């Protein structure tokens, strides 16, 4: 596949497209998110999130669905900051 400038454009796999679609619409499912992940992707929740985190770093994912990718990146960053803040407070850091 080629882009407008004639350069080759890499496309994410069907599985990765399905993961982004799932993240866009998971809240509409009757099942819990973890049950839906296991049923739809045939893997553990840890494996799913590991693969999803790798996917979020790929420029092709951003090109495919920028709104979902940016939202997931923001959520990931917010969780990292919360863990760091909690870890600092729990160990008697500067905020103690």
| 51 domain-assigned | yes
| 25 domain-assigned | yes
pLDDT band at 10 (very low <50, low <70, confident <90, very high): confident
Number of structural domains found in the chain: 1
d(CA 33, CA 41): 12
Task: Please give the residue that has the higher pLDDT: either 47 or 94.
Answer: 47
Range of the domain at 19: 14-89
| 6 domain-assigned | no
| 19 domain-assigned | yes
Per-residue model confidence as pLDDT tens digits over 12-53: 999 999 999 999 999 898 899 999 999 999 999 999 999 999
| 96 domain-assigned | no
Task: Give mean pLDDT, residues 55-84.
Answer: 96
| 3 domain-assigned | no
Q: In the predicted model, is pLDDT for residue 2 greater than 80?
A: no
| 2 domain-assigned | no
Looking at the chain, how many residues does it have?
A: 96
Sign (positive or negative) of CA dihedral 49, 34, 10, 60: negative
Tell me the backbone φ, ψ of residue 8, rounded to 5 degrees: -70, 135
Residue 5: its pLDDT value, please? 58
| 69 domain-assigned | yes
Q: In the predicted model, is pLDDT for residue 94 greater than 50?
A: no
């Amino acid at each position: 596949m080629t882009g407008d400038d004639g350069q080759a454009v890499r496309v994410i796999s069907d599985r990765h497209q399905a993961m982004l679609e799932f993240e866009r619409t998971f809240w509409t499912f009757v099942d819990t998110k973890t049950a839906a992940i296991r049923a739809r992707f045939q893997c553990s929740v840890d494996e799913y999130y590991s693969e999803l985190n790798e996917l979020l770093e790929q420029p092709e994912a951003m090109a495919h669905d920028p709104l979902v990718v940016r939202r997931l990146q923001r959520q990931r960053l917010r969780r990292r900051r919360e863990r760091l803040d909690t870890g600092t407070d729990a160990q008697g850091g500067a905020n103690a």
